[in-house]
């Protein structure tokens, strides 16, 4: 598949007379998509096997990584140009990007859950005493108390959880690792899951994943979305709720409780503090009633 990328870039340089910088930008975007494809579908070795669901998964991945809408639009444009080239040169029969739309630039502030909605969501799986119930409650509590991205949460291993210290280690963007202090309630649900839930879901001693599916394998991003959807319906919350909304809600809650902007930036793994400042402006514009214990806010 790398061969077609090289041929395409040569085409841009020779036939289209693109500048070196533009070609390098195309190379970076296409290699990013190729790496994502290799991780998402390891056995996919032909561009003709790329379909729209895979492309949409890539867009979700970019959104989770908090790329701006303009950056995502540029990447979509590059991928569409590449697949148009592949179709034109008979490398593929059908262009899967033909109906792929670029995201619109949305200037609205991030959407968050209301305090009562957050409590209803957290309470939704609380009465379930099954292994799945222990798992799902731990997932919801951890998402709301850590601000983890979807990919970060499903990538957690059992060894990333330090119960005595009340912390979780996660790999963020660019393979940067950070330590996140987690409030006691969420750590208690994690302890319950590790003691009473996970052992019933997997008997494979070699499985490192913290959260596993009913087959005893690492939970996927899609699986996590389905879990959120299930309990949003159970909690009777109107409208679509994404895992990223829980991250937004976490950030707004911390700032509304007086947490320092730089501390929230570190907890969320933001490279640029301007991303975190969006939440600060939201807090300044409205008063929020806190619904979660403050103990994790002031942890170092």
Identify the DSSP state of 171. Answer: E
Q: Tell me, yes or no, whether 31 and 127 share the same domain.
A: no
Among candidate residues 183, 172, 111, 174, the one with its CA nearest the CA of residue 143: 183
In a domain, 105, yes or no: no
Distance CA 70, CA 49 (A): 27
In a domain, 103, yes or no: no
Q: Which domain holds residue 244?
A: 115-296
Q: Tell me, yes or no, whether 182 and 288 share the same domain.
A: yes
Q: pLDDT tens, 215-258?
A: 999 998 889 989 999 999 999 998 888 888 898 888 888 888 88
In a domain, 94, yes or no: no
Average pLDDT of the residues in 255-279: 83
Considering the chain, what is the average pLDDT of its residues? 86
Q: Tell me, yes or no, whether 26 and 138 share the same domain.
A: no
Among candidate residues 161, 169, 167, 186, the one with its CA nearest the CA of residue 269: 169
Residue 260 belongs to domain with CATH number:
1.10.443.10
pLDDT of residue 172: 66
Total number of domains constituting the chain? 2
pLDDT of residue 270: 84
Average pLDDT of the residues in 95-113: 78
Kindly report the pTM of this predicted structure.
0.63
pLDDT of residue 66: 73
Which one is predicted more confidently, 100 or 127? 100
pLDDT of residue 298: 45
Kindly indicate the confidence band of residue 300, based on its pLDDT and cuts at 50, 70 and 90: very low
Q: Would you say 271 and 173 are in contact if contact means Cβ atoms under 8 Å apart?
A: yes
Please state which of the ranges 57-71, 116-130, 284-298 shows the lowest mean pLDDT.
Answer: 284-298
Q: Tell me, yes or no, whether 287 and 238 share the same domain.
A: yes
Q: Which residue do the tokens 């330090």 mark?
A: 162
**Which of 21-25, 138-142, 220-224, 252-256 reaches the highest mean pLDDT?**
138-142
Kindly indicate the confidence band of residue 299, based on its pLDDT and cuts at 50, 70 and 90: very low
Among candidate residues 150, 131, 149, 113, the one with its CA nearest the CA of residue 235: 113
pLDDT of residue 112: 86
In a domain, 279, yes or no: yes
In the predicted structure, residue 103 carries a pLDDT above the cut 90: no
Q: Which residue do the tokens 């009473």 mark?
A: 196
Q: Tell me, yes or no, whether 151 and 281 share the same domain.
A: yes
Distance CA 161, CA 190 (A): 9
Kindly indicate the confidence band of residue 18, based on its pLDDT and cuts at 50, 70 and 90: confident
pLDDT of residue 164: 94
Q: Tell me, yes or no, whether 151 and 80 share the same domain.
A: no
pLDDT of residue 289: 44
Q: Would you say 131 and 145 are in contact if contact means Cβ atoms under 8 Å apart?
A: no
């Amino acid at each position: 598949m790398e061969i077609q990328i090289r041929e395409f870039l040569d085409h841009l340089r020779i036939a289209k007379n693109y500048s070196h910088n533009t070609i390098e930008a195309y190379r970076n975007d296409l290699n990013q998509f190729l790496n994502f494809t290799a991780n998402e579908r390891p056995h996919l070795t032909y561009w003709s096997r790329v379909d729209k669901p895979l492309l949409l998964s890539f867009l979700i991945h970019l959104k989770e990584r908090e790329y701006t809408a303009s950056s995502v639009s540029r990447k979509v444009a590059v991928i569409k140009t590449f697949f148009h080239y592949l179709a034109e040169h008979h490398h593929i029969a059908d262009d899967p990007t033909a109906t792929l739309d670029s995201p619109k630039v949305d200037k609205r502030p991030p959407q968050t859950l209301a305090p009562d909605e957050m409590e209803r969501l957290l309470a939704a799986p609380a009465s379930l005493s099954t292994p799945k119930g222990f798992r799902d409650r731990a997932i919801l509590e951890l998402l709301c108390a850590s601000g983890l991205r979807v990919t970060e949460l499903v990538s957690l291993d059992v060894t990333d959880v330090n119960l005595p210290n009340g912390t979780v280690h996660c790999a963020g963007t660019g393979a940067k690792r950070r330590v996140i202090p987690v409030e006691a309630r969420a750590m208690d649900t994690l302890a319950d899951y590790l003691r009473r839930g996970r052992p019933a879901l997997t008997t494979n001693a070699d499985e490192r994943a913290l959260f596993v599916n009913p087959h005893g394998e690492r939970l996927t991003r899609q699986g996590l979305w389905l879990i959120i959807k299930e309990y949003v319906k159970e909690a009777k919350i109107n409208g679509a709720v994404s895992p990223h909304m829980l991250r937004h809600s976490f950030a707004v809650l911390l700032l509304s409780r007086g947490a320092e902007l730089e501390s929230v930036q570190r907890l969320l793994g933001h490279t640029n503090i301007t991303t975190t400042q969006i939440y600060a402006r939201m807090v300044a514009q409205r008063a929020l009633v806190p619904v979660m214990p403050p103990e994790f806010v002031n942890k170092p």
